[in-house]
Amino acid sequence: MEAEGKVAPVLGDMDKEEFRRFGHELIDWIADYLEQIEDRPVLAQIEPGDLKAQLPVAPPEKGEAMEEIIRDVDRLIVPALTHWSHPSFFAYFATSTSAPGIFGELLSAAFDNKAMLWRTSPASTELEEVTLDWLRQMMGLDAGYTGIIYDTASVSSMHAIAAAREGVEMRIREEGMSGRKDLPLLRVYVSEQAHSSIEKGVITLGLGQKGLRKIPTDSEFRMDVKALAEAIEEDKRNGYVPFCIVATVGTTSTSSIDPVAEIIPIGEKHAMWLHVDAAYAGSAAVVPELRHILKGCERADSVAVNPHKWLFTPFDLSVLYCRHLDLLRRAFSLVPEYLRTPEQEQVRSGSDYGIQLGRRFRALKLWMIIRYFGHEGLAARIREHCRLAKLFASWVEESPDWEMMAPLPLALVCFRASPRIEAESEAARSGRLDVLNEAIMHGVNATGKALLSHTKLNDKLTLRLSVGNIRTTEKHVRQVWELLNEQLRLLV
């Protein structure tokens, strides 16, 4: 970029020629960034506070040239990034953006629509309906589901629980929950492996942590259905009102899949809402031979899925599919005079279905992604990720120094090093293996060549390798396997 640059005009936005020039340069910058990303360390190699120490504490009095700003992006911001788009990012749930997704975000920022009412963005409102119906079809969900976009799965699931609560007909919207002697304890049920966002949603909705009951899981980390049934019966005997079950399809630690089809009759027996948190795994249902993971959802009440997790959609975009939009609307719709419109009875307005008024035009990027890759293209990429994860798992299984820690239904491998170590007891050996595996993980991450994360399963530190990035190939999976073995050799 050139050294000298123009600052902002006295009034109005950037000069249009400048905009054009920087627009082109920035797209080139992004293309280079993605092309050369493998030369960068996956994990930001800075210490806490390093970036803040390099930034002025006060805002600039006068505007600065774009050249200077972009130079600082290179100099200061990029080194402080953990590169989620790096193909050797295998931590958490490896997720990635894609070219059509980036274009979608760019256009959405240009349009800057606040899609609160149909008329404030007919395009966003109608495209959202159509695109989510496409995604529903691709996932094999039945036509009884209508989708609505939120930012994250945490928020999608919280809204599902709010709709379920509205369904208990206890006038909570009107009278609240505090100070009411007539209100029994309302309870939500999840497995011990459910994501913490469900608990946060329950807290946010004023149900309290006591309003959540965690059900044990079986040896494969799936909700124990018998224990669920017993817990609900017990709570009912104690005068509680069980009103919602949240099953997880693709838990965060292991991607285990709760037996939704077996949970259904329990929920139906007690007239409870069944929400399915498929934030991660739901996207895999676009692969025809993996559709079975959503088995049972034909009788669930709502399903959350995050295209920003495994459908190459830039953060953020979560979808709640719900059969009872009327309850969601009843829980949240509040239309003051200044938001009334002549067409309001004929159209859907996003703000009626949640706590947000203004909503980003998120459907645009998903629409562009689905059109660009097509159903087949999306399925092929997810199928390949599953193949790569299986390949990695086969190396773990064949090696005497490593072991699998959980089944592999999709593309998240849970494993750990388990070389022969002398120890006075099994507990002592297990403790030493925890220390070893943590050291291996930090060792690999410190190379900057790959990034892994961990969890604890049955009290054992477990490494997680998640394959989900659109740029990840077999080469990257082989490389991380070599890095892991190098660390093992160094440490044992």
Interface ranges with ligand PLP (CB under 6 A): 93, 152-154, 195, 197, 248, 250-252, 277, 279-280, 306, 318
Nearest distance in Å: CB 146, ligand PLP: 20
Nearest distance in Å: CB 249, ligand PLP: 8
- At 305, the amino acid letter reads V
Q: Nearest-5° angle of CA 293, CA 99, CA 320?
A: 35
Nearest distance in Å: CB 492, ligand PLP: 32
Which lies closer to ligand PLP via its Cβ, residue 222 or residue 449? 222
Which lies closer to ligand PLP via its Cβ, residue 94 or residue 170? 94
Nearest distance in Å: CB 457, ligand PLP: 15
Using the structure block, give the residue that is written with the tokens 């700003």. Answer: 69
Q: Residue 235's closest CA among 265, 206, 205, 272?
A: 272
Nearest distance in Å: CB 105, ligand PLP: 17
Which lies closer to ligand PLP via its Cβ, residue 125 or residue 318? 318
Using the structure block, give the residue that is written with the tokens 């946060």. Answer: 200
Which lies closer to ligand PLP via its Cβ, residue 308 or residue 449? 308
Which lies closer to ligand PLP via its Cβ, residue 247 or residue 436? 247
Nearest distance in Å: CB 168, ligand PLP: 24
**Beta strand pairing status for 186-191 and 460-466?**
unpaired
The encoded tokens of residue 18 equal 């400048």
Which lies closer to ligand PLP via its Cβ, residue 203 or residue 241? 203
Nearest distance in Å: CB 306, ligand PLP: 5
Nearest distance in Å: CB 199, ligand PLP: 11
Strand partners, 460: 457
CA distance 90 to 441: 11
Nearest distance in Å: CB 284, ligand PLP: 13
Q: Residue 299's closest CA among 272, 320, 318?
A: 272
The two most distant CA atoms of the chain are separated, in Å, by 78
Which lies closer to ligand PLP via its Cβ, residue 96 or residue 251? 251
Which lies closer to ligand PLP via its Cβ, residue 277 or residue 352? 277
Count of C-beta atoms within a 10 Å radius of residue 440: 25
Q: Residue 139's closest CA among 264, 321, 312, 313?
A: 321
Which lies closer to ligand PLP via its Cβ, residue 191 or residue 349? 191
Q: 480, 71 in Cβ contact below 8 A?
A: no
Which lies closer to ligand PLP via its Cβ, residue 66 or residue 414? 414
Q: Residue 280's closest CA among 258, 254, 250, 319?
A: 250
Sign of CA pseudo-dihedral 367, 285, 457, 88 = negative
Residue 160 has φ and ψ, to the nearest 5°, of -65, -45
Q: Residue 465's closest CA among 440, 492, 429?
A: 440
Which lies closer to ligand PLP via its Cβ, residue 121 or residue 313? 313
Using the structure block, give the residue that is written with the tokens 């009759």. Answer: 265
| Residue 243 burial class via C-beta count within 10 angstroms: exposed 0-12, middle 13-18, buried 19 and up | buried
CA distance 23 to 41: 27
Nearest distance in Å: CB 58, ligand PLP: 33
Scored b (16 or more CB within 10 A) or e, 65-91 reads bbbeebeeeeeeeeeebebbbbbbbbb
Which H/E stretch holds residue 275?
strand 273-277
Nearest distance in Å: CB 152, ligand PLP: 3
